[in-house]
Every structure is written in C-alpha cells, then in structure tokens.
Amino acid sequence: QDRSIPGKDFPPDQVIKTARDKNCYGISYTYTEPTVFFEYAYDVAKIAHKVGFFNTFVTNGYLTPEAVKTISPILDAATVDFKGGGDPDFYKNYSSVPTVEPIYEALKEFRRNGVHIEITNLVVPKIGDSSDRIKEMATWIKEILGKDTPFHLLRFHPDYKMTTNQGTSVEIMEKAYMTARNAGLNYVYIGNIPGHPAENTYCPKCNELLIKRHSFEITRWNITKDKRCPVCNNKIPIVGDLHQTDARFPYALF
C-alpha cells in the first residue's frame, strides 16, 4: 500500500513569483483553514506584504490572541466564518468545538490591531437557522465591531456528511437578512443565491445601488473615486480599490 503523501514543494518565494506571473494583486489564504498551516502562511504573507501585495485570511476564527497579534501587521483583512449563528450547541454537536468564545476574542483582537473584518454565517435549515441567534450575532457585531462591518449570510447546500439535509430556502435566507438589517447593520448580504438583490451593496443613507454583483463577479461599480455615494455623497467605508483583470472574475477588489 502506497503511504506516500502526494504534494508539491512550494516555498514562499515561489508563491510570490507565481502570483506575480498571474498578475495578481494579493494572496488569500483560504479553503484549507489558514491556521492549520499558520507558520507557512506567515512566511508567505511576510514576503507578500513586503512587495506590496495584500493578504487576506478566510478562517474559522479559532485563533489565540498571540496568533492574531503575530499575523496582524502583515494582514489586510480577515473573513471569519461562523456556522449556525454561532450557537454553542451547534458547534459542539457538529464541529466538536468546546466553546465559541475564542472566536469572539479573536475578532476583538483583529479589530484592536486594525485588520479589516468581515463576518460570514452559514444558515443551516432546522439545526442552524435560528432568528434569535442571528439577531444576537448581528447585535454583537454592531456593538463590538461596528455597524459598518459586512455580514454575509450564506445559503447551505447539501454536501459531504450532510447530503441528506435540505438546502436553505430563499424565504429563510431573506428572513435572516431582514433580522440582521433590523439589528442595525448597514451592510448585510445573502450569499450562494446568484442574482439575488441582497448580493449587492446599497448606500445605507439613500439606498442607491453602489455595487451590483452576480455570484463572484462585479457587474456594476457606482462609487466615486473618493469612495462616496454618487447621489447623496455619503462616505462609503469600503476598503481597497477596484481592478479590472482578464481572470475568470473580471474585477478584483481590495
């Protein structure tokens, strides 16, 4: 039986070279939880930061304060992924996580260290779609991270060990969206429903459509160069810049 582990040696400097060859503007550490390969991610991010690339983490947020402090000086943004509204019982039953508190502490530490934060929450029907939990999470985000913190509600689809579970209905997703908006957050989104109006960014002051999206693609950009609403002149706290590319996704924003 072959017990070798397939893989390719990919040292940090080679990652940077590849990113340059592909005309990338930055590197995102995602799909495999970046804290699993934290030292490697740090080594890559350090060089990337030095040459002017942006660095973004997509993480479950289960980091120690020391890890957050270590990576923050070279990290531009972090998306922290929750599931089931951060319900402690959901995490214990489906992720074997004893407590969710370290995630909230990591978020506070990211904010203290000036890292741009976005939150996602996977809405799982019946076992992780509680309106009370979503309201509680949205309220915490508003009070601790700020009302302009982007909050992405993601539609669950059957996969891996949950193939017998139903996908989340559009009705449940829209209810979750309104719950978060009514809690006082300015930038709430629905994900995994391509073409839904809640994929877009609207001005919180006059409701002008600012960024139109379809799945991962930006199809319209309606923000002034100094990042204001073109109708009411409201300052839009968006981070980064828009770049048109020849890649699969025609725009890269950061």
Cα separation of 249 and 225, whole Å? 21
The C-alpha angle with vertex 137 and arms to 132 and 143, in degrees rounded to 5, equals: 125
Q: What is the pLDDT of residue 253?
A: 58
8 Å CB contact between 78 and 117: yes
Q: 154 and 201 in contact (C-beta within 8 Å)?
A: no
Q: Cα 217 vs. chain centroid, distance in angstroms?
A: 15
Task: Take residue 198 and report the two structure tokens written for it.
Answer: 């809640």
The confidence score (pLDDT) of residue 1 equals 66
CATH 3.20.20.70 residue spans of the chain: 60-194
pLDDT at position 246: 66
Residue 152 has which token pair? 């992405």
Query: Helix H segments across the chain?
Result: 12-21, 38-50, 65-71, 88-95, 101-112, 131-140, 170-182
Report the candidate in 114, 73, 87 with the shortest Cα–Cα distance to residue 239.
Answer: 114
- The reported pTM is 0.93
Query: What's the maximum distance between 2 C-alpha atoms anywhere in the chain?
Result: 67
Asked if residue 152 lies in contact with residue 119, where contact means CB atoms within 8 angstroms, the answer is: yes
Report the top-level CATH class of 60-194.
alpha beta
Per-residue pLDDT 10s for the chain (254 aa) are 678 888 889 999 999 999 999 999 999 999 899 999 999 999 999 999 999 999 999 999 999 999 999 999 999 999 999 999 999 999 999 999 999 999 999 999 999 999 999 999 999 999 999 999 999 999 999 999 999 999 999 999 999 989 998 999 999 999 999 999 999 999 999 999 999 999 999 999 999 999 999 998 899 999 999 999 999 999 999 998 787 766 655 555 55
